[in-house]
Structure 1
């Protein structure tokens, strides 16, 4: 049987597809371009174009499991429900959804998709809810670190268990390949609970220059991220997430029982990736 990876060329989808292939499983990479690495099979798929929803099943009628990456819109269930229903009709038996610690089942954004999967009969599902990605330091915070030697957030002194993509991929692989899903709601966290002050110290030590954490209000953080080119809705949501960190919500996640604790420490990840923040 075949595992379909939506978002198959993305941050988690690409390494997950490779890991599945390396383990000897059949995998199909779905992306808007339809491209895939030479040794993998790709298919064109776009959440904004329902005419592409049949494409994966035409390319491989043996799909029985699907990794779901949501489209970057606030109403995610509306575009995803028709495809999920089609997949069930095509005999798909398991879905694994990438969500976030801040999105409980039934909540906004991915939480509505989580809730819908939980209500399907005769279908297994697993939802990965990772904390903040370590990789954000190479994307969301990259400009500030390179240009101003600083990270700007509204998290104040709040702590969070930064998690590396490699650990998220391992958790996803387990849910997609294990005979049964024991825990369908899995919080995915890194091994260390750190504030952005501490993250800045780790970056400083690795880069050999002082990196600071500048603490601002939620409104200020939102405006700064809009300046990075993020849509106002996404920038505002990230500001809200900063506030949840400041309130200690991510620290509480560490105390939960339904969690997968990764192996990659932020200090080790930074050391491995420090070339990303080296000034030319």
Structure 2
């Protein structure tokens, strides 16, 4: 990649995309952010936004919203990859998920496009606890999920971004699939305990049945399709199929992946997990 090559970062305001964009711009490389909420308008559900976002682009970081396990994702990914190649983009880097059959179909669709493709197959993001749907439960002081005694190698979004930036700008990654995970297995209870230790708070973790969790989300007004997707992910990718480590960070960056404890302490220092205000007479 040269300094004249333009990279389109999809989901450029999200957990990994924003970090990828910062890394590339920090190297004085031209970046275009594609998002529904910032940068150049890009919407997976509106194909009219695709071509303008791809104009003049030589490489694309592809992160799909809401998840590659969502219905229709392989078809959308495949159509986008073909559009990207037709517009002149040659390098496509897909953020994928471990243990999701639908995600594997998306990977195949990108590979079939004729692009110089690379797949980053990532585990559960550590930042889901601080930048996504698990933030409020941590703040509230209790995390209840349909997750039991299955280990997950939580990965830091910063590691994913560094790997993506290296793959987008370096050579030797075409046709490769990198298994990008953290350095050890933790249950969700272990992860919440690490956050509690880092914040000096008591934050219990409660395992709940999947149907009870789905009912609780529905009662909070979470749309049915989002509730179904989240429940599906918890009941599939956390069935033990992903309870092993990948070495993608070491392969690409030549260093170990960042540990969850380091993430927890750094994030706690920002104050994002400060307990929500409590009513008079409450226990906390």
Tell me the TM-score normalised to structure 1 length: 0.84
Give me the CA root mean square deviation: 2.2
Q: Measure the CA separation in 1 of the matches of 2:80 and 2:123.
A: 27
Q: Give the match for residue 38 of structure 1.
A: none
Could you tell me which runs of 5 or more consecutive residues in structure 1 were left unpaired when the two chains were aligned. Answer: 36-41
1:158 to partner: Cα distance: 0.8
**2:58 touches 2:88 (CA, 8 Å); kept in 1?**
yes
Q: Give the match for residue 12 of structure 1.
A: 16
Q: Measure the CA separation in 2 of the matches of 1:217 and 1:8.
A: 34
1:19 to partner: Cα distance: 0.4
1:25 to partner: Cα distance: 2.0
Q: Give the match for residue 221 of structure 1.
A: 213
Tell me the TM-score normalised to structure 2 length: 0.83
Pairing 1:146–2:142 present: no
Aligned equivalent of 1:99, options 88, 91, 96: 96
Pairing 1:76–2:73 present: yes
Could you tell me which runs of 5 or more consecutive residues in structure 2 were left unpaired when the two chains were aligned. Answer: 251-255, 278-284
Q: Measure the CA separation in 1 of the matches of 2:112 and 2:54.
A: 23
Aligned equivalent of 1:164, options 152, 156, 162: 156
**1:159 touches 1:194 (CA, 8 Å); kept in 2?**
yes
Greater strand fraction, Structure 1 or Structure 2: 1
SS at match of 1:277: coil
Q: Map 1:44-193 to 2 at 5 A.
A: 44-58=41-55, 61=56, 63-72=57-66, 73-103=70-100, 107-108=101-102, 110-121=103-114, 123-138=115-130, 139-147=132-140, 149-181=141-173, 184-193=176-185
Pairing 1:265–2:269 present: no
